[in-house]
Amino acid sequence: MGLINDYVAAKIMAVDTKELKKRAFSGVSVLILRNLLMQPISFFGFLFLSIFLKKWQLGVFWAVSEVVGFLGYFSDVGLAAAIIQKKEKPTKKELRATFTIQQVLVIGSITIALLLTPLLKRKFDFERGKFLYLMLLFGFFTSSLKTIPSVILEKKLAFKKIAIVDLMEQIVFTGLAVFLAWKGFGVNSWAWAVFFRSLAGVILIYIFSPWPLGFSLHFESVKKLFRFGVPFQINSLLAMLKDKLMNVFLWGILGSEGVGILGWAQRWAQAPLHLLMDQVVRVGFPAYSKLQNDKEKLRRALERTVSLVNLLILPVLTGMGFLMPKVVAVFPQYYKWSVGIIPFWFYLGSFAWGAITTPLVNAFNSVGRVKLTLKLMISWTALTWLLFPPLAKKFGANGAALGLFLVSSTSFVAWIIAKREFGISFKRILLTPVAADILMLASLIIFDNFLAVSILEIVLLTGVGALVYGAVAWVMSKEEIIWLVNTSKEWYSELSKQKTRT
């Protein structure tokens, strides 16, 4: 859904009529509100699950989910995104032909998945996750049933209904998984949570968006959609080869416990990106396509956005890295994850690189440099497969996380290209967040010498870090912060109006 929403955002940002602009702004506001509600649910849900479950249980869920996610990339050829990108209203023939093609691909993928079961048993620690595997395949199937209703809602900019479905799925999944894990269901906690989330989602979306469900062999009607959909899917395929398939491969090297450690580290390190950067990228960057003919405006917009993203994310990443060892030490139930601290640090470093590089890559796509981003993705995929396996075999989970950090550090190549293409100044972008981050870290180290490890220390250090960082950032970038605050007020005002109208 995330990639599809990016295309919706790109589409609505280009609309000039006043009424559609209102609907677009309303829709994007709802998407942001949805994510602001979903992230805390996901955050605390994972916190409790990582307390109740063992490392190998988390690893089994992580690895089996990646196997099914890997198959998911072959269940679509970008047709859903192509329908959304299409200016005209989709016909019944197009919808049914798209649905038919997708179901053939989905059923084919599930058949392959079932045929792969003996291989998975031989190569991986699979037996303990077999039931989960079947439930995830069921969820994969029901997810495919939601595609057309979701496309119809997004074409109508009916984001409120989409948000309700997403929130309901998140609540059902997280609530049930935590409850069952607490009751000792282990890996099957995830399995039953996936099953009931899938049912809740597909039923609710068909209530909101019924359509003349059916099959059609009139594939000529979707022929044009393939011209957009197939290239779109190639980038997704490369991302899959770089991430999901590698995680499955690491399962064979590290076992369930090793993958569980990596999953724990990645999940916590990614939290700031999901909470802060995803929405900035989704909402802000489609506008770059409108600015591509005005290089000066594009440069200013890109510099401001990347600067603000890093102004928000860097202190959170640094603070998490400093405080996580203390969190693990303070809470006895969490001490089992102390082995994940080093991978966690490597993941934080990797995502710090990504906080700069991801917006730049999105900017390349926005101005039509898709071939460039494809070359970058091919290079990063190749490096991933060259570095990860030997490092994982030699150093375990620490080595795999180190491999990710090393691959991410090569993203400076994208910085060089962005400087050449857009004329942006990385000094202007990074001076304030990096300087404030360094001073914040220094203050944390100093205060840490006078405090004993406790919950109170964690709270006090969090407050000290926030005050120091905020003060330095205010002195160095007062205008940018004022702009951010004013923009946030506008969003809050619009959200309030939407809530009142609702």
User: What is the secondary structure of 422-444 as a DSSP string?
Assistant: H---HHHHHHHHHHHHHHHHHHH
Give the pLDDT of residue 399.
95
79 pLDDT above the threshold of 70 = no
Rg (CA), the chain: 23
Arithmetic mean of pLDDT over the chain: 78
| Stronger pLDDT, 232 or 149, i.e. the higher one | 149
Q: How confident is the model at residue 452 (pLDDT cuts 50, 70, 90)?
A: confident
Dihedral in degrees, nearest 10, Cα atoms 386, 274, 347, 171: -100
Q: Which is more confidently placed, 96 or 484?
A: 96
Tens digit of each residue's pLDDT (9 = 90 or more) over 256-294:
889 899 989 998 998 877 766 665 555 544 455 555 566
Name the nearest CA neighbour of 177 among 255, 335, 61, 66.
61
Q: What percentage of the chain reaches a pLDDT higher than 90?
A: 24
Determine the pLDDT at residue 243: 72
The token pair at 482 is: 């004022």
Question: Residue 138 in contact with residue 198, Cβ under 8 Å?
Answer: yes
- In the three-class reduction of DSSP (H, G, I as helix; E, B as strand; rest coil), residue 30 is classed as helix
Q: Which residues of 266-284 are buried (b: 16+ CB within 10 A; e: fewer)?
A: bbbbbbbbebbbbbbbbbb
DSSP assignment, residue 273?
I
In this predicted model, what pLDDT tens digit does every residue of 287-337 receive, in sequence order? 555 555 667 777 777 777 788 788 888 999 999 999 999 999 898 888 899
Taking residues 36-53, what's their average pLDDT?
84
pLDDT for res 149: 86
Q: How would residue 437 be classed by pLDDT, with cut points 50, 70 and 90?
A: very high
Which has the closest alpha carbon to 73: 102, 40, 45, 97?
Answer: 102
Would the pLDDT of 439 be above 50? yes
pLDDT value at position 120? Answer: 77
- 11-25, 86-100, 104-118, 406-420: least confidently modelled range: 11-25
**Residue 438: is its pLDDT beyond 90?**
yes
Q: Is the pLDDT at 14 greater than 50, yes or no?
A: no
How much is the pLDDT for 161?
A: 82
- Report the 10 Å Cβ neighbour count for 210: 10
- pLDDT in the model for residue 91: 73
Least reliable range by pLDDT among 23-27, 115-119, 452-456: 23-27
pLDDT interval class at 21 (50, 70, 90): very low
Residue 272 sits at the vertex; the CA angle it makes with 267 and 274, to the nearest 5 degrees, is 75
- For residue 13, the model assigns a pLDDT of 42
pLDDT at 442 over 70: yes
Q: What is the 3-state secondary structure (H, E, C) of 36-47?
A: HHHHHHHHHHHH
**pLDDT exceeds 50 at position 8:** no
Work out the average pLDDT over 108-113.
Answer: 85
The reported pLDDT for the residue numbered 17 is: 43
Pick the residue with more confidence: 417 or 238? 417
Q: Who wins on pLDDT, 496 or 154?
A: 154
pLDDT confidence bin for 22, thresholds 50/70/90: low
Report pLDDT for 7: 40
- For the segment 117-134, the average pLDDT, to the nearest whole number, is 79
- Greatest mean pLDDT among 39-53, 112-126, 359-373, 431-445 lies in 431-445
**Model pLDDT, residue 166:** 85
Which residue in 309, 286, 251 sits closest to 429, CA to CA?
309
What pLDDT is recorded for position 9? 43
Average pLDDT over residues 402-421: 91
Asked if pLDDT for residue 446 goes beyond 90, the answer is yes
Which pLDDT value is given to residue 285?
Answer: 46
Calculate mean pLDDT across residues 407-420.
90
The pLDDT value given to residue 400: 93
Q: How high is the pLDDT of residue 292? A: 57
pLDDT, one tens digit per residue, over 372-401 is 887 888 888 889 999 999 999 999 999 999
pLDDT in tens, 140-189: 888 888 888 887 877 776 667 888 888 898 899 999 999 999 999 988 99
Mean pLDDT, range 202-231, rounded to an integer: 71
Residue in the block written with tokens 């000039």: 16
**What 3-state class would DSSP assign to 133?**
helix
Contacts of 242 by beta carbon, 8 Å cutoff, 6+ apart: 377, 380, 381, 384
